[in-house]
Structure 1
Amino acid sequence: MQDRLLELFHKYVNDSCSEEELSELFDLFSLPGNKITVKELIAQTIEDIYQHPEKINILLSNTDAENVLSQILTNTPDIATKTDRQPKKLFSRWRYQAAAAMVAALVGVSYYYYAHRSVNTPLQEVAQTTPNPLNITSGGNKATLTLNNGQTIVLDSAQNGLLAMQGTGRIVKPKSGEIIYSTEEKNDEKILYNNISTPRGGQYSLQLSDGSKVWLNAASSIRFPVVFPATERKVYITGEAYFEVKHLVGARDQSVPFIVEADNKSAGKAGFSVEVLGTRFNINSYSNEPFASTTLLEGKVKVQSHSSLQTRLLSPNQQVNMARNGEMNLNEQVDVNSVIAWKNGYSQFSAVPLSAVMRQIERWYDVNVQFEDHVTDVKFTGKLKRNENLSEFLKILDLNNIKYAVNNSTIIIKK
């Protein structure tokens, strides 16, 4: 029986439990003879997160997560024996919160399961996880391509194959769904620009004619040449985009620069530019965010503010944040996995204020969010799959005792 408990527990942690297996797992949790085994599994989970802190699968406020973990540790002497360390010595603050989030996820889902399964369980004894009737689906691959002549193509409904010819450039949509630009000619006499834009609740990816790849987040756009000129590659973006730039050598064996111009009202009238040679990086330039950010994963980039004329040279795992006046602040050690989680199908947060979380929810689910006056801006740590319905995220608000109301497609966060 304990072998089965161990098997189901690990399937749950890896998010691979079926509904039947989840039901069986919680039945095993409730058996008195399994109490010690459950404590040991929780202890091992905490150790695993210490080694792999990215294993978080639910959003919890820092306070609630730490309270849950503290209660478990207080009432579970086996954990102290197994780890031979006290919790605050075992974890840095972030890893402590990560462990709390994972363990609280287990406890929270268990509470939620029994609250809806057993008529004998008093509701006041479990977390408030009553499902909300709002059932808005998550975003998906949605975008519009605008050609140089003004013609528009809705990419998500366009048939696979050749979409258009622009000068010497070919635009193809393969079965995989992204858009691929290619050319047999390296030089066009006239530069023709295309534009791809995503709505709220949309995302899309494309490959430029030089082989560089771009992923667009929701409510974003990119303007780019169908075929790049020989001496420079320059594109223009709004919103958020992730780039994997191909290193390109031109005449006289010199590298051809790749420049991203970001239009962001919060970063000054002229925005800013990012110059690269061959690298992977993310730019977040949403105008409703308090600052614009450039995060480097690989290679080197130079970020320049057109208003303050400041420049920063980034190394991997560094991020530069640009304020409204163009002033830059360098973050020398950033969690890049959280930054690009959107590109990999997740929303991931590490001590992020609720207001910032809800701005992402607005863009991805195409809803509006309002905050009543004097709402406490609690911070969240966790990870949520982006293909979940909005109702799944609302359960997390319930779990954290955050009061809200839903009016059509508007979520009102109450005090």
Structure 2
Amino acid sequence: MQDRLLELFHKYVNDNCSTEELSELYELFSLTGNEIIVKELIAQTIEDIHQHPEQINTFLSQEDAEKILNDIFPQTSDTAIVPHVPVKISRMRWWKWAAAATVAVLISLSGYYVLHQSGNKATREIAGRKSSTSNSSNKATLILSNGQTILLDSVPNGLLATQGQGRVVKNQNGAVIYSAAGKDGDQIVYNTITTPRGGQYFLQLSDGSKVWLNAASSIRFPVVFPAGERKVYITGEAYFEVEHLSGHHDQPAAFIVEATSNATDNRGCRIEVLGTKFNINSYSNEPVVSTTLLEGKVKVHVNNSLQSQVLQPNQQVNISRKGDMYLTTSADVNAVIAWKNGYTQFAAVPLSAVMRQVERWYDVNVQFEGNVADIKFTGKLKRTESLAEFLKILDLNNIKYEINNSTIIIK
């Protein structure tokens, strides 16, 4: 029996467990007499997590971790049974051990315990809606200059259109690539790409600059940039890798991004770029418009204001609803661009901020009742996880909710 437990556990660690094997593994976890070997397996996993913390893939409040672990291994005395673990791990505080163990066993095991043991009927019901509420990245609509729309996630690869002096091609990876087919014309021809909730898209502009659009975002841009000017317009969130080009007299050709939030307060900014990598978040339901620089140098101007700020790498500037600028000199850039790499990542962020991203990723609406919106979360979640998997995390943290059609009501 222990050999089977070891076999299944190692299959799980290597992401090779089938649904049936996962169920069998959890049954073995719960059998009397397996507690010691299970805890030793967990301890080894903890050591791996300790050495490679970037592999942790969950949201979990620290105060709930020990409670959950004790729920898995109920104690018959007032003293918790601390497993035999390597010296490095035994020196960890108990709550760290519990949190790591919960990460290793509960969350990564697809929330099996919660799905089968929780009395939350809404979680079980929404699990059956995985296909309609799971993330499926490459979704976008291309709007040509004549108003024609093309659904980019369903149109075949190849030449999509010839617009003015430019060509629009969808390559074998599903990306849209723009290129100049001739000399610059007198008229600037614009295209627009929009992403729905739950979608994102990658495109390459005619100058070679690369753009990643997050969910519920848009970019308007010239099919071919005119000589001496590169300007695009975005809403929502986008990550840019701008191609360095020389203009007149071999001076660097500026790249300008106009970002608006589409909010009634007319928040927004203009970013002047040379050759650089940066992220802009201008969603209308976010409290600030945020620009974060990874490489190079940018200058951010507040709309309808004389305020501006030059950013250096790893810096971030936020523009409030009132138009005030706030500089962060050491931003968590990995968390900022996690969405581009297929994750959502937070560090001590209120639940309200987490759920705003959930709304955009899973195409749902979220309402709050009470003060739960201020609960802080730290963690990382794959974008490919279904909404049902995310809701299990709320269960683990004792957060009550109801599902009403496509609205999640947090209580």
Quick check: TM above 0.5?
yes
- For residues 184 and 370 of structure 1, the distance between their equivalents in structure 2, rounded to whole angstroms, comes to 49
Amino acid at match of 2:42: I
Cα offset for 1:13? Answer: 4.3
Is residue 266–residue 291 contact of structure 1 (8 Å, CA) maintained in 2? no
Is residue 46–residue 89 contact of structure 2 (8 Å, CA) maintained in 1? no
* Partner deviation per Cα, 1:98-129 (whole Å, 9 max, x = no partner): x7654213343579546777xxxxx5xx7969
Q: Which moved more, 1:405-414 or 1:31-40?
A: 31-40
Which of 171, 195, 198 aligns to 2:168? It is 171
Is residue 110–residue 389 contact of structure 2 (8 Å, CA) maintained in 1? no
Query: What's the counterpart of residue 156 of structure 1?
Result: 153
Query: Are the structure 2 counterparts of residues 176 and 4 from structure 1 closer, same or farther at C-alpha, using a change threshold of 3 Å?
Result: same
Task: Say if 2:143 is the partner of 1:137.
Answer: no
- For residues 115 and 367 of structure 2, the distance between their equivalents in structure 1, rounded to whole angstroms, comes to 30
TM-align CA RMSD? 3.2
- For residues 116 and 155 of structure 1, the distance between their equivalents in structure 2, rounded to whole angstroms, comes to 36
Question: Gaps (5+ residues) in structure 2?
Answer: 74-78
Is residue 175–residue 202 contact of structure 2 (8 Å, CA) maintained in 1? yes
Is residue 243–residue 280 contact of structure 1 (8 Å, CA) maintained in 2? yes
- For residues 232 and 116 of structure 1, the distance between their equivalents in structure 2, rounded to whole angstroms, comes to 55
Task: Say if 2:395 is the partner of 1:382.
Answer: no
Query: Are the structure 2 counterparts of residues 340 and 127 from structure 1 closer, same or farther at C-alpha, using a change threshold of 3 Å?
Result: farther
Query: What's the counterpart of residue 76 of structure 2?
Result: none
Is residue 198–residue 219 contact of structure 1 (8 Å, CA) maintained in 2? yes
Cα offset for 1:211? Answer: 0.9
Amino acid at match of 1:87: R
- For residues 227 and 3 of structure 2, the distance between their equivalents in structure 1, rounded to whole angstroms, comes to 63
Q: Which moved more, 1:240-249 or 1:216-225?
A: 240-249
1:186-225 alignment runs, 5 A limit: 187-225=184-222
Query: What's the counterpart of residue 120 of structure 1?
Result: none
Give the percent of matched residue pairs that are identical in Structure 1 and Structure 2: 66
- For residues 363 and 116 of structure 1, the distance between their equivalents in structure 2, rounded to whole angstroms, comes to 24
Describe the SS at the equivalent of 1:133.
helix
- For residues 221 and 111 of structure 1, the distance between their equivalents in structure 2, rounded to whole angstroms, comes to 33
Is residue 350–residue 373 contact of structure 2 (8 Å, CA) maintained in 1? no
Cα offset for 1:299? Answer: 2.3
Which of 261, 264, 269 aligns to 2:266? It is 269
Query: What's the counterpart of residue 82 of structure 2?
Result: 76
Cα offset for 1:170? Answer: 0.3
TM-score by length of 2: 0.84
Describe the SS at the equivalent of 1:326.
coil
Cα offset for 1:24? Answer: 4.9
Cα offset for 1:411? Answer: 1.2
Task: Say if 2:91 is the partner of 1:85.
Answer: yes
Q: Which moved more, 1:351-360 or 1:103-112?
A: 103-112
Query: What's the counterpart of residue 227 of structure 2?
Result: 230
Is residue 129–residue 398 contact of structure 1 (8 Å, CA) maintained in 2? no
Cα offset for 1:235? Answer: 0.6
- For residues 21 and 93 of structure 2, the distance between their equivalents in structure 1, rounded to whole angstroms, comes to 31
Cα offset for 1:10? Answer: 5.2
* Partner deviation per Cα, 1:370-409 (whole Å, 9 max, x = no partner): 1124445312222222233322222222222211111111
Describe the SS at the equivalent of 2:103.
helix
Describe the SS at the equivalent of 1:316.
coil
Is residue 244–residue 274 contact of structure 2 (8 Å, CA) maintained in 1? yes
Describe the SS at the equivalent of 1:131.
helix
- For residues 249 and 115 of structure 1, the distance between their equivalents in structure 2, rounded to whole angstroms, comes to 57
Cα offset for 1:221? Answer: 0.5
- For residues 397 and 19 of structure 2, the distance between their equivalents in structure 1, rounded to whole angstroms, comes to 24
Cα offset for 1:220? Answer: 0.6
Q: Which moved more, 1:41-50 or 1:389-398?
A: 41-50
- For residues 6 and 327 of structure 1, the distance between their equivalents in structure 2, rounded to whole angstroms, comes to 57
Task: Say if 2:353 is the partner of 1:361.
Answer: no
TM-score by length of 1: 0.84
Query: What's the counterpart of residue 104 of structure 1?
Result: 102
Cα offset for 1:4? Answer: 6.9
Cα offset for 1:223? Answer: 0.6
Amino acid at match of 1:106: A
- For residues 54 and 247 of structure 1, the distance between their equivalents in structure 2, rounded to whole angstroms, comes to 32
* Partner deviation per Cα, 1:142-178 (whole Å, 9 max, x = no partner): 2221222222222222222211111110011122211
Q: Which moved more, 1:371-380 or 1:270-279?
A: 371-380
Cα offset for 1:15? Answer: 4.1
Cα offset for 1:272? Answer: 0.5
Cα offset for 1:289? Answer: 0.5
How many residues are treated as equivalent by the alignment? Answer: 399
1:10-409 alignment runs, 5 A limit: 11-13=11-13, 15-27=15-27, 29-30=29-30, 35-65=35-65, 75-76=81-82, 78-79=84-85, 81-83=87-89, 85-87=91-93, 101-109=99-107, 113=112, 123=117, 131-134=123-126, 135=129, 136-140=132-136, 141-185=138-182, 187-264=184-261, 269=266, 271-375=268-372, 377-409=374-406
Cα offset for 1:368? Answer: 1.3
Is residue 270–residue 306 contact of structure 1 (8 Å, CA) maintained in 2? yes
Query: Are the structure 2 counterparts of residues 279 and 67 from structure 1 closer, same or farther at C-alpha, using a change threshold of 3 Å?
Result: farther
Cα offset for 1:197? Answer: 1.0
Question: Gaps (5+ residues) in structure 1?
Answer: 89-95, 118-122
- For residues 406 and 252 of structure 1, the distance between their equivalents in structure 2, rounded to whole angstroms, comes to 61
Q: Which moved more, 1:255-264 or 1:67-76?
A: 67-76
Is residue 60–residue 382 contact of structure 1 (8 Å, CA) maintained in 2? yes
